[in-house]
């Protein structure tokens, strides 16, 4: 009984002793004030422990199953399945000529490589039209190493417009996550970022016109034993290039395809087929600079267009060092009394010696003015055409001579005479030549050459009134229409096109054993729309048929096949 009594006795906790029921109203029951905390029940702790033990056992069993019981199987799957970040190559932009002909396009192929690096990209293809290689250029493809890693992820333009327009043509590559199994079977492919194709570009050129220009001129050059040449046709109002070709040319499709034999042969060819002579070939211009200096003389007021100078076939200057051996500056023939228009038509050296350096009572421009006006017409500096590798050329000056030959060889009046007829150290490119002819034809706007169709024209003024330039245009037209026996391009007087032109022959070599031949001009003569410049490079001195005769078959073809360009 005592034991049972003891079991019924409950101890009183201190908090129960001090819990005063009279203070209960002062407690905030929502904050659990006045309530006694009780210990967690043993049953609850036991339940939590059981659940935790079950979870640990479950994960332990799963880990044992993966790592021990089937470890070899799952390890094999892990090793054989591959998850790789793969490129999705952007499609390179296409190039079209002004009529919509495709000049450069893409043909999809599969790039060979390892199982994890195989990716689809397009092969670049080019038109079979001849004469386009230097303008269009070529590319290099993306490349991967032996392990399949792409060390060049982009198409890379190497020359021509493929190089200068590379940013616009390239686009932006995309990427995917690709999972393959041990047999290279695709398990999953998720696009991470889609590719963005390159921009399609329409050029200003007419491929048919350019190819015929190339074919006819290059054949004429071979027949006359010229090393090479170049030709450019420009719209005189917009600066758009209708045709621009250089010869000999190379096989830009073979260069893109990586044909090592073709690449090696072209690289070793002494005729330099890789040189784009239209923009990177600098040539002694000869008489084609005379229109510039005629306009300069008129603008400076040193001579009137109607004043006649008597051409006797040469100018003779006393030699202070050897009076018995005067300095002789010869003309190519005796022309008699000639004014400025006639001097341009017959290409009189004697007339331009006189207005260039002065002779007798006639004041000359002098070398500083010759330099100034050559620069006004864009010589001695790049034209701004969108092709890499353009050269600036040279305008002979006393400063240039001092650098080239040293201070002990001073500038002489004979140097001024030779500069006035485009000889001595003068160097110009065909693109510079066509640009200044266009400025004469359009009334004095020096245009930036454009190779993209519908480009906004860009120009600066040469600062010469059109009334003076009109005299020059009339002289160039007389070279075609004059009945004089010494008129230089009478064979251009053909039906179907009104040409105004000027020829130039530049002597080369220590003994003048070689020559360059130039022809420049514009048409229609009464309202010019197109200008042209052609150079044939280095034939034996005395070669009778040069650049102008080489252009005649082209103009006849243009009349018959593209009359829209003749008027």
Q: State the pairing for strand pair 445-447/336-338.
A: unpaired
How confident is the model at residue 113, as a pLDDT? 46
Phi, then psi, of 499 in degrees rounded to 5: -100, 145
User: What count of residues does the chain have?
Assistant: 567
Look at residue 435 and give its three-state secondary structure: helix
Kind plus residue range of the DSSP H or E element containing 506: strand 500-508
User: What is the torsion angle, in degrees rounded to the nearest 10, for the CA atoms of residue 47, residue 51, residue 54 and residue 60?
Assistant: -140
- The CB-side HSE value for 317 (13 A sphere, CA atoms) comes to 18
Give the angle 92-96-102 at the CA atoms, nearest 5°: 85
240 Cβ neighbours under 8 A, 6+ residues apart: 204, 234, 450, 451, 453, 455
Kind plus residue range of the DSSP H or E element containing 480: helix 466-481
Name the one residue in this structure whose structure tokens are 């010229």.
226
How confident is the model at residue 482, as a pLDDT? 96
CA 344/CA 481 separation, integer angstroms: 12
How confident is the model at residue 49, as a pLDDT? 85
User: What is the torsion angle, in degrees rounded to the nearest 10, for the CA atoms of residue 38, residue 44, residue 48 and residue 50?
Assistant: 150
HEC secondary structure over 12-54: CCHHHHHCCHHHHHHCCHHHCCCCCCCCCCHHHHHHHHHHHHH
Kind plus residue range of the DSSP H or E element containing 96: strand 95-96
Neighbouring-strand partners of residue 119: 111
Tokens describing residue 449:
């050459």
Neighbouring-strand partners of residue 138: none
CA 499/CA 493 separation, integer angstroms: 7
Minimal CA–CA distance to 474: which of 350, 295, 336, 233? 295
Angle of helix 430-442 relative to helix 290-300, nearest 10 degrees?
40
Q: State the pairing for strand pair 201-202/327-330.
A: unpaired
CA 299/CA 465 separation, integer angstroms: 8
Helix, strand, coil content of the chain in percent (nearest 5): 40, 25, 40
Angle of helix 430-442 relative to helix 466-481, nearest 10 degrees?
110
How confident is the model at residue 483, as a pLDDT? 94
DSSP alpha helix (H) spans, 65-141: 71-80, 133-136
How confident is the model at residue 3, as a pLDDT? 46
CA 461/CA 376 separation, integer angstroms: 8
Question: CA distances (Å), 87 to each of 108, 213, 216, 309, in order?
Answer: 15, 43, 46, 74
Look at residue 530 and give its three-state secondary structure: strand
End-to-end CA distance of the chain: 139
Q: What number of helices (H) and strands (E) belong to the chain?
A: 20, 22
Kind plus residue range of the DSSP H or E element containing 438: helix 430-442
Question: CA distances (Å), 136 to each of 109, 216, 297, 388, in order?
Answer: 22, 20, 41, 12
pLDDT values of the chain reduced to their tens digit, one per residue, 567 residues: 454 454 555 555 555 555 555 455 555 656 555 555 667 678 778 888 888 888 888 888 887 876 777 667 666 555 555 556 678 889 999 999 999 999 999 998 755 444 444 567 899 999 999 999 999 999 999 988 877 778 888 899 999 999 999 999 999 998 887 666 656 666 666 668 889 999 999 999 999 999 999 999 999 999 999 999 999 999 999 999 999 999 999 999 999 999 999 999 999 999 999 999 999 999 999 999 999 999 999 999 999 999 999 999 999 998 877 888 899 999 999 999 999 999 999 999 999 999 999 998 999 999 999 999 999 999 999 999 999 999 999 999 999 999 999 988 999 999 999 999 999 999 999 999 999 999 999 999 999 999 999 999 999 999 999 999 999 999 999 999 999 999 999 999 999 999 999 999 988 887 888 999 999 999 999 999 999 999 999 999 989 899 999 999 999 999 999 999 999
How confident is the model at residue 14, as a pLDDT? 58
The 8-class DSSP code of residue 79 comes to H
CA 476/CA 287 separation, integer angstroms: 12
Chain centroid to Cα 22, Å, comes to 100
Question: CA distances (Å), 3 to each of 6, 7, 9, 10, 338, in order?
Answer: 5, 6, 10, 13, 155
CA 62/CA 374 separation, integer angstroms: 89
Q: What is the pTM of this model?
A: 0.83
CA 493/CA 544 separation, integer angstroms: 19
How confident is the model at residue 152, as a pLDDT? 87
Tokens describing residue 170:
């390239």
Phi, then psi, of 271 in degrees rounded to 5: -85, 0
The 8-class DSSP code of residue 62 comes to H
Q: Are 36 and 16 in contact (CB under 8 A)?
A: yes
The structural domains of the chain, ordered by start, are: 82-202 (3.90.1310.10), 207-565 (3.40.710.10)
Kind plus residue range of the DSSP H or E element containing 268: helix 260-268
Minimal CA–CA distance to 95: which of 459, 382, 386? 386
Neighbouring-strand partners of residue 517: 505, 536
């Amino acid at each position: 009984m005592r034991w049972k009594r003891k079991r019924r006795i409950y101890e009183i906790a201190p908090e129960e002793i001090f819990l005063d029921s009279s203070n209960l109203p002062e407690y905030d029951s929502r904050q659990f004030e006045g309530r006694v905390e009780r210990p967690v029940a043993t049953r609850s702790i036991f339940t939590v422990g059981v659940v935790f033990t079950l979870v640990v056992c479950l994960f332990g069993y799963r880990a044992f199953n993966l790592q021990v019981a089937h470890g070899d199987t799952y390890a094999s799957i892990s090793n054989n399945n591959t998850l790789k970040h793969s490129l999705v190559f952007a499609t390179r932009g296409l190039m079209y000529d002004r009529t919509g002909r495709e000049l450069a396009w893409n043909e999809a192929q599969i790039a060979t490589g390892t199982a994890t690096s195989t990716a689809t990209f397009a092969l670049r293809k080019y038109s079979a039209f001849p004469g386009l290689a230097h303008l269009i250029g070529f590319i290099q493809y993306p490349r991967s190493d032996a392990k399949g890693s792409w060390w060049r992820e982009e198409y890379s333009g190497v020359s021509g417009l493929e190089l200068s327009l590379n940013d616009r043509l390239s686009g932006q590559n995309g990427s995917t996550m690709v999972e393959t199994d041990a047999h290279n079977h695709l398990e999953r492919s998720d696009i991470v970022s889609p590719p963005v194709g390159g921009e399609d570009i329409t050029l200003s050129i007419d491929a048919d016109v350019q190819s015929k220009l190339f074919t006819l001129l290059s054949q004429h050059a071979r027949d006359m034993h010229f090393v090479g040449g170049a030709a450019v046709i420009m719209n005189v109002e917009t600066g758009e290039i209708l045709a621009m070709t250089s010869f000999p040319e190379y096989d830009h499709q073979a260069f893109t395809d990586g044909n090592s034999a073709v690449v090696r042969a072209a690289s070793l060819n002494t005729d330099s087929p890789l040189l784009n002579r239209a923009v990177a070939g600098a040539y002694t211009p000869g008489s084609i600079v005379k229109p510039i200096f005629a306009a300069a003389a008129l603008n400076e007021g040193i001579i009137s267009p109607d004043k006649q100078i008597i051409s006797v076939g040469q100018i003779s200057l006393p030699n202070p060092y050897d009076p018995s051996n005067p300095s002789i500056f010869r003309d190519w023939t005796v022309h008699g009394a000639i004014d400025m228009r006639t001097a341009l038509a017959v290409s009189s050296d004697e007339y331009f010696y006189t207005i260039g350096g002065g002779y007798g009572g006639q004041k000359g421009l002098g070398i500083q003015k010759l330099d100034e006006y050559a620069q006004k017409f864009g010589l001695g500096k790049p034209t701004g055409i969108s092709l890499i590798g353009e050269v600036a050329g040279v305008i002979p000056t006393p400063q240039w001579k001092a650098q080239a030959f040293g201070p002990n060889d001073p500038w002489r009046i004979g140097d001024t005479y030779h500069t006035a007829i485009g000889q001595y150290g003068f160097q110009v490119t065909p693109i510079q030549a066509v640009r200044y002819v266009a400025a004469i034809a359009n009334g004095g706007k020096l245009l930036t050459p454009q190779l993209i169709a519908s480009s906004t024209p860009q120009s600066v003024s040469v600062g010469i009134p059109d009334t003076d330039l009109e005299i020059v245009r009339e002289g160039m037209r007389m070279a075609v229409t004059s009945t004089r026996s010494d008129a230089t391009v009478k064979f251009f007087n053909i039906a179907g096109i009104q040409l105004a032109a000027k020829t130039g022959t530049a002597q080369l070599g220590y003994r003048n054993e070689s020559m360059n031949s130039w022809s420049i001009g514009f048409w229609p003569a009464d309202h010019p729309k197109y200008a042209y410049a052609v150079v044939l490079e280095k034939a034996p001195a005395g070669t009778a048929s040069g650049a102008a005769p080489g252009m005649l078959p082209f103009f006849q073809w243009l009349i018959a096949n593209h009359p829209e360009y003749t008027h």
